[in-house]
A = this chain, B = another copy of it.
Amino acid sequence: MILTVTLNTALDITYRTAALTPHATNRVAEVSERPGGKGINVARVLAALGHESVVTGFVGGRTGDALRELLAAEGPGGQPAHAAVSDALVTDAPVTDALVPIAGTTRRTIAVVDETTGDTTQLNEPGPTVTPAEWAAFLTSYEELAARADAVALCGSLPPGIHVGAYAELVRLARAAGRPVLLDTSGEPLRRGIAARPDLVKPNADELAQLTGSREPLRATRDARRRGGRSVVASLGAAGLLAATPDGSWRAAPPTAVRGNPTGAGDSAVAGLLSGLVERLPWPERLARAVALSAATVLAPAAGEFDREAYADLLPRVAVTEQSSQPEQESHAPRQHR
């Protein structure tokens, strides 16, 4: 079982409009809702890959009730029933709800999809304030769940009321239980969390630059390792992934640039990395899986889902290349690095 933690869950609402006109009244043509938050998205993809997962974090209020109802309705498999199942190797597994109830109300996020331009305008509500007693109840549940997990993923932002060192605390607890732990967050929670020595961190280019001060991915990824990440896999958008690990450094890139909705692409990459870790795949295979899942998510029509046919097609075509293991030399002559 893989445990995913989403402290700031959300009811993700998508509005389709003919065209979004700011400062005017816009009729919404179609409304859809799904359980959201990065850890929940990761669990959905893990389920589609055949990995049993448990989701925890906080949930409350009417929007929280709606989230839990939708999560239960997704049933085994995570992906809604209409998703194409073309790859015989891909099977569905259950997502178990272990969310901790709180007095506050789960936030909504609204994605307004302009059907004329295809662009999305995102509105994210602030999360509910979590009380110290609710955090304590979560920790008790988390320790019990982490002890049973093959791996733990800590995903997304912190809601108000949670101390900025919360992820560092959760990393230490997972490590104390001897469980591999992945951290995917940003800003100060990432800075504190990485110092607690997680097994894997997956920053995107902006998060990595904010953490290290460097926009040069290879240097920044190696810097992030020095800050405490045992392995660091940076997601570089269309350029794929860059990994710095104790076993070596690799770049993994999709065969062609893909166009579509990047929402959830990072979460799919996390699911690819986690499943590969649990299956003890060599790094190049883990990275190829993460890149193919990520690209197949961009290609899927619905935000946060992946196109299984595209995944099966892309997986053998991801180019994984080992990088020079001479960071010191590179740091003296950064311009020569391609």
Q: Which residues of A contact B (CB under 8 A)?
A: 15, 17, 20-29, 31, 62, 65-66, 110, 112, 114, 117, 119-126
Contacts and interface: CB of A to CB of B under 8 A. Distances in A.
Nearest to A105: B31
Contacts of A23: 114, 117, 119-121
Contacts of A65: 62
Contacts of A126: 27-29, 31
Contacts of A20: 22, 121
A20 B120 CA distance: 13
24 contacts: A15-B123, A15-B125, A20-B121, A22-B22, A22-B114, A22-B121, A23-B119, A23-B121, A25-B122, A25-B124, A26-B121, A26-B124, A27-B124, A27-B126, A28-B124, A28-B125, A28-B126, A29-B126, A31-B125, A31-B126, A62-B65, A110-B110, A110-B123, A112-B123
Contact of A62 (B24, B66, B114, B123): B66
Nearest to A22: B121
A26 B125 contact: no
A124 B20 CA distance: 11
A28 B107 CA distance: 10
Nearest to A66: B62
A302 to B, nearest CB: 18
A48 B176 CA distance: 61
Nearest to A31: B125
Contacts of A25: 122, 124
A122 B22 contact: no
Given A17-B123, A62-B65, 14 more contacts: A15-B125, A20-B22, A23-B114, A23-B117, A23-B119, A23-B121, A24-B122, A25-B122, A26-B122, A26-B124, A27-B124, A28-B124, A28-B125, A110-B110
Contacts of A26: 121-124
Contacts of A24: 121-122
Nearest to A13: B108
